Chain A
C-alpha cells in the first residue's frame, strides 16, 4: 500500500512538469562563472578556460551512469552581472555567461548529468527538475 502511495506521489510530482508519460521536459540554466568583462545582457560564450562552452557546441544529457538520454547544441549565452551588489558605474562589467537549455521529453531517471564537449560532467538529481523550474548548473 505504501508503495502504491509513493508511486502516486511520484507521478503527481512529475506531473507538474511538461513531457509525456515516459518523459519530462528539463530546463537547465548553465552559468559559466568566467568573470569576463562584457556589456550586461550582451551575447557571450565562455571565456577562457571555458572557451568550449559556446553557441553550437554539442552537449548531451545522460543518466549519471553514462547512458545518453538526449543531446543538442548550446544556444548563445547572455551576460549577467557577476556581482549585482556592486554598482560598477561603467558599461562593461565583470559578468558570467549564462546558457538556457530546454530539453523536451527526456526519459525519467533518478539522476542526470550534463556533459559538454570538454570538462567533467555536471550531475544533478531528478528532484531538482520537479515543478518545471530550471536546474542551475555552474562551471567555474
Chain B
C-alpha cells in the first residue's frame, strides 16, 4: 500500500469475512487477510467461461484503480485454472487473479459468477453484489472509505 494513504472507518455493521488462501496464476499463495490489513479489498468472483464476467471485472478494476491503496483480487473456481490464464491475459488488468476452492465460494455465498464483494480494512464484509455492480455504485462505496 502506498505510504501516507489512510482510510475512513466504515459506518454500520458487517460480518467478519472468512480468511482464505488462494493460488495466484504463478502458483504463489495469496492470503486474503494480508490484503485487507489496513485497506479495503474488493473481491471479484469470476470465471473464464462467463461471458459477462470480464466486463464486470474490468469495470471494478477501473473504479478500484481510481482509489489509491485499495486492493482488488479476482477469484476463479479451482477447476478453471487453465482458462483463467487466457482470461487474465485478455483482461490484462495488472491486478492479481487466483483460483479459489469451493469452500471460499461457499463462504462468500458466491453461487454463480460474477459476484463482487467489498471488504473493509480489517476484514468486515460491507457489501456484496451478485451479478456485478454498476461503476457509480461501487465508486460511491469506495469514496466513503476514502479518508477525507
Interface segment, one of B11-19, B26-34, B49-57? B49-57
Beyond A47-B111, A47-B112, is A38–B131 a contact (Cβ under 8 Å)? yes
Q: Chain B interface mostly helix, strand, loop or mixed?
A: loop
* Chain B: number of interface residues, binned into ranges: 10 to 19
The contact string, 1 if C-beta is below 8 Å from chain B, for chain A 15-58, is: 00000000000000000001011110011111110010011110
A133 part of interface (Cβ distance < 8 Å): no
Q: CA separation between A23 and B130, bound complex, in Å?
A: 43
User: Is there an interface contact between A48 and B112, defined as CB atoms closer than 8 Å?
Assistant: yes
Q: Which of B52, B83, B112, B131 contacts A51 (CB 8 A)?
A: B112
Which chain B residue lies CB-closest to A73? B49
Sample 29 A-B pairs with CB under 8 A, ordered by A number.
Answer: A34-B111, A36-B111, A36-B112, A36-B130, A37-B130, A38-B131, A42-B131, A43-B50, A43-B52, A44-B112, A45-B47, A45-B49, A45-B50, A45-B112, A45-B113, A46-B112, A47-B112, A48-B105, A48-B111, A48-B112, A51-B77, A51-B105, A51-B111, A54-B47, A55-B49, A55-B50, A57-B49, A76-B51, A92-B131
Further pairs besides A34-B112, A51-B112, A76-B51: 13, Cβ < 8 Å: A36-B112, A43-B50, A43-B52, A45-B49, A46-B112, A48-B105, A48-B106, A48-B112, A54-B47, A54-B50, A55-B50, A56-B83, A92-B131
